[in-house]
Amino acid sequence: MDPDAVKSTLQNLAFGNVMAAAARNYQKEIIAEGKAPATSAADQEVDLDDLMDDPELEKLHADRIAALKREAEKREALKRQGHGEYREITEGDFLGEVTGSEKAICHFYHREFYRCKIMDKHLKTLALKHVDTKFMKLDAENAPFFVTKLGVKTLPCVIIFRKGVAVDRLIGFIDMGGKDDFSTRALEVVLIKKGIISEKKEEDEDDDYLEGGRRTVRSSVNHDSDSD
């Protein structure tokens, strides 16, 4: 398959999704402002082609593209700092790594400890999802200075850093109920509560569909609910 053709197709799909989302937002706005009647019992259908030249929709589209671009640039900058992956560092790297990011997590581990391997598995998964936070691990045997300095006595020990300052820690599996079979989600919730990562919202389901060659956007209006 031609790589350029695949890339072009993906770009077109992304553009269509952005425009559809912008159309949904625009429709909600004009209903809220009383510019269009709202139905409570049936779905509304709006012809996307009729909205393509609307200046307000174009502005929504431009704003959405700009926001996506800023977010992509931010993610790339963080990845250059070591975010977005679970990396092993050395004692010599430690200070530069924890002070080089606003939010960082470092797992002090032992290579032969089974529980450290369990913690590794969960942290590796979370590192891919929570790019805003740097995830690292450090072999405690090879980092005696910082083990002593930070008072690491029990492994696994996950220390949370904000702007290079240790602000909290997880000792063993106490915060996850003390059992080995805790889920990645259980660890994620603990770290969210400690403020080092943020809850990730699920992407909205794609409401776009093709029917008879026409592009339409379907939205349901429910006056009894505040949810989108």
The stretch 122-137 carries a mean pLDDT of 95
Identify the residue with better confidence: 164 or 13: 164
pLDDT band at 110 (very low <50, low <70, confident <90, very high): very high
Q: At what angle do helices 55-80 and 3-32 cross, to 10 degrees?
A: 130
Let me know how long the chain is: 228
Q: At what angle do helices 184-193 and 114-129 cross, to 10 degrees?
A: 70
67-76 core/surface letters (b: 16 or more CB in 10 A; e: else): eeeeeeeeee
Is residue 18's pLDDT more than 50? Answer: yes
pLDDT band at 82 (very low <50, low <70, confident <90, very high): low
Give φ, ψ of 138 to 5 degrees. Answer: -135, 125
DSSP H helical ranges for 130-169? 144-149
C-alpha to C-alpha distance for 63 and 36, rounded to whole angstroms: 23
Which residues, in sequence order, are bridge partners of residue 165?
162
Is residue 79's pLDDT more than 70? Answer: no
What's the mean pLDDT when you consider all of the chain? 76
Identify the residue with better confidence: 18 or 59: 59
> Cα dihedral angle (87, 90, 95, 99), rounded to 10 degrees?
-10
pLDDT attached to residue 63: 75
C-alpha to C-alpha distance for 106 and 87, rounded to whole angstroms: 10
Domains of the chain with CATH codes: 86-194 (3.40.30.10)
Token pair, residue 131, equals: 């790019």
Is residue 13's pLDDT more than 60? Answer: no
Show Cβ contacts of residue 202 under 8 Å, excluding neighbours closer than 6 positions: none
pLDDT attached to residue 56: 74
Give φ, ψ of 143 to 5 degrees. Answer: -135, 55
Q: Which of 118-122, 123-127, 211-215 has the lowest mean pLDDT?
A: 211-215
pLDDT band at 26 (very low <50, low <70, confident <90, very high): low
Identify the residue with better confidence: 196 or 220: 196
pLDDT band at 141 (very low <50, low <70, confident <90, very high): very high
pLDDT band at 215 (very low <50, low <70, confident <90, very high): very low
C-alpha to C-alpha distance for 33 and 19, rounded to whole angstroms: 21
pLDDT attached to residue 133: 95
C-alpha to C-alpha distance for 20 and 182, rounded to whole angstroms: 39
The stretch 1-9 carries a mean pLDDT of 51
Q: Is 119 helix (H, G, I), strand (E, B) or coil?
A: helix
The stretch 103-130 carries a mean pLDDT of 97
